Structure 1
Amino acid sequence: MRAVFACAGCGAVLTAPVSQIALPVHAHHTYGHELLPALMEPGAYAVDPEPSGPPWRPWSEIEVDEAEARGVFAPVYALSFGAPGAIVVAPGDTRGTVLIPERCGGSCYGVDGRDGPNLACARCGRPVATRIDDCSYWQAVWLAPHAVRRLPADGSARRTVDWETPAEEREGTPPVEPSGAWSPRWEAAVGAALAHVLVASAGAPVTVPDGLVADTFGRALDALLPPGPPAKKAALVGPCLPAPDPAPGIALVPQCPRTGKAWQDHPYARPF
């Protein structure tokens, strides 16, 4: 179902019609010292289930059990204790908003949201969203969940690409950019997949087949897991791929970037 988001204060429409997709795995990753493209495709929105934005608490003030409850097991500079459920859209899909000049702090080329919501409803002046477009960040507008309302929009939802869609109609992201640099989207996806593999390993060594999988995961797995047998075998499994024989102990399966659903045909599947 297509939707628009409106100001919770006065009801003014703040976005173009958008359809929900999965939150990109690289949504909160920063990359390099350059201007990055928009996080979201036009006509799409995603919801972040985790807390985001201010207030922030430095690592020194956070108890270990608090951090672990949030899935954070290594020190970070600060952790957000803001409201969960922020809605992200492409900057070009916003409507009827104006910048709040005193909240437009940034580090280099643009604004990074450090001062809290920096976009206000043009009709009533209520702070409703945070625009981020500084270098190293994916360009995005994050709608504050308490400041907006989701309303149905006319028209059918955008077509969803799933595992029944022919392979030639699916869009992919090459692992290497035209400049020769490693794709930041792939960096984030590989990091998330590596975390899944480490959990599935249960601390045992993991072997991977030669080729792309070994080039991507081999060195990290050797460094993070102990050597020696018995080792679990990990391999790519999914549509358009021949079934490995014998079946691996850990199957790396693709994850649909639109729906967020993993292709699963293995009891030990881990999304990639």
Structure 2
Amino acid sequence: MDVFVCAECGTELTAPVSRVALPVHTHYGAWEELHPPLMEPATYAVDPRPTGPPWRLWEEVGEDEAARQGVYAPVPAVSFGARNRIVIAPGDSRSMTLIPEKCAGYCQGLDGRDGPNLACEGCGRAVATRMDDCGSWQEVWLEPDAVARRPSGHPAGPAPGWADLERAEHRVTPVEPDGSWSRRWEAAVGVALAHLVATTEGCPVTLPSGPVADLLRHAVDRYLPPGPGARSVGLAGPGVPTPRLRP
């Protein structure tokens, strides 16, 4: 496990944390809704793409420059912030204090529009951004040039496996209480479809009958039209036997 410290004075800014994959729903939320913490306790993730301010309008940036920032479809604004920012759960932050003049938000919390809004208590350097406004998951983003990673001296826990997904806290129903799609499911399904299209390299795909076909058939038929040489897709997960490998 690691801890992150202030690059200026060495003050520890986090509890011991272990690196995990960046959640696919990190930048996908819903306006006028408050979301829970993005990260599990004692974990952190790194976003290789630019995030946070400054932002530039899509019309000003253009398709080619947006692609260099990792954005490949039109969006209202493109981030030109730092790459490799580190995200942790707010409860894992230590020895940081809010910078009052940088605590603007849309309506229900902080949205980070003014840049880092958390300062190191040891030296006063701006080191991180707290975000918890509507449409954002509750999170703290450490600035990569303001912090340094150090070994914590605590052993890392075992890598999560399929069995961990069966625990109640990891079960996410597809539908919200108001009847709308789960925000996490919407993001995960979109990412899964993108991976499927990229992996098959344009070849047609045969989906297993049932919920997967019901969910993805329309999009798969649009992006991977039927034809000869179709590849088959199998399921994996808790309680699902590993399929026998085929050519």
TM-score range, shorter chain: 0.7 to 0.9
TM-score, with normalisation over the residues of structure 2?
Answer: 0.87
In the other structure, the counterpart of 2:189 is 190
Asked if 1:175 corresponds to 2:173, the answer is yes
Deviation at 1:88, TM superposition (A): 0.6
Tell me, in whole angstroms, the C-alpha distance in 2 between the residues paired with 1:10 and 1:102: 23
- Deviation track 1:160-185 (CA, whole Å, cap 9, x = no partner) reads 2136x688679743333572543322
- Matched position secondary structure for 1:235: coil
Q: How does 1:183-262 map to 2 (within 5 A)?
A: 183-226=182-225, 231-237=230-236, 240-242=239-241, 247=246
Q: How does 1:60-79 map to 2 (within 5 A)?
A: 60-79=59-78
State how many pairs are aligned.
246
Tell me, in whole angstroms, the C-alpha distance in 2 between the residues paired with 1:77 and 1:115: 18
Q: Percent identity?
A: 56
- Matched position secondary structure for 1:84: coil
Tell me, in whole angstroms, the C-alpha distance in 1 between the residues paired with 2:224 and 2:216: 12
Q: How does 1:28-177 map to 2 (within 5 A)?
A: 28-162=27-161, 172-176=170-174
- Matched position secondary structure for 2:3: strand
Tell me, in whole angstroms, the C-alpha distance in 1 between the residues paired with 2:114 and 2:230: 49
Tell me, in whole angstroms, the C-alpha distance in 2 between the residues paired with 1:22 and 1:115: 27
- Matched position secondary structure for 1:149: strand
8 Å contact from structure 2 (residues 89, 140) kept in 1: yes
Deviation at 1:83, TM superposition (A): 1.8
- Matched position secondary structure for 1:236: coil
Name the Cα RMSD after superposition.
Answer: 2.7
Tell me, in whole angstroms, the C-alpha distance in 1 between the residues paired with 2:38 and 2:245: 39
Task: Please say which of residues 189-198 and 232-241 is displaced more in the overlay.
Answer: 232-241
Letter in 2 for 1:51: P
In the other structure, the counterpart of 1:270 is none
8 Å contact from structure 2 (residues 96, 118) kept in 1: yes
Letter in 1 for 2:123: C
Letter in 1 for 2:64: D
In the other structure, the counterpart of 2:17 is 18
8 Å contact from structure 2 (residues 3, 16) kept in 1: yes
TM-score, with normalisation over the residues of structure 1?
Answer: 0.79
Tell me, in whole angstroms, the C-alpha distance in 2 between the residues paired with 1:81 and 1:235: 39
Which ranges in structure 1 are unaligned for 5 or more consecutive residues? 248-266, 268-272
Which ranges in structure 2 are unaligned for 5 or more consecutive residues? none
Letter in 2 for 1:120: A
Is the alpha carbon distance of 1:38 and 1:225 closer, same or farther for their aligned partners in structure 2, counting shifts above 3 Å? Answer: same
Letter in 1 for 2:26: A
Tell me, in whole angstroms, the C-alpha distance in 1 between the residues paired with 2:31 and 2:45: 24
Deviation at 1:215, TM superposition (A): 2.0
The structure where helix makes up a greater share of residues is 2
Letter in 1 for 2:174: V
- Deviation track 1:6-43 (CA, whole Å, cap 9, x = no partner) reads 11111111111111111111111122521100001111
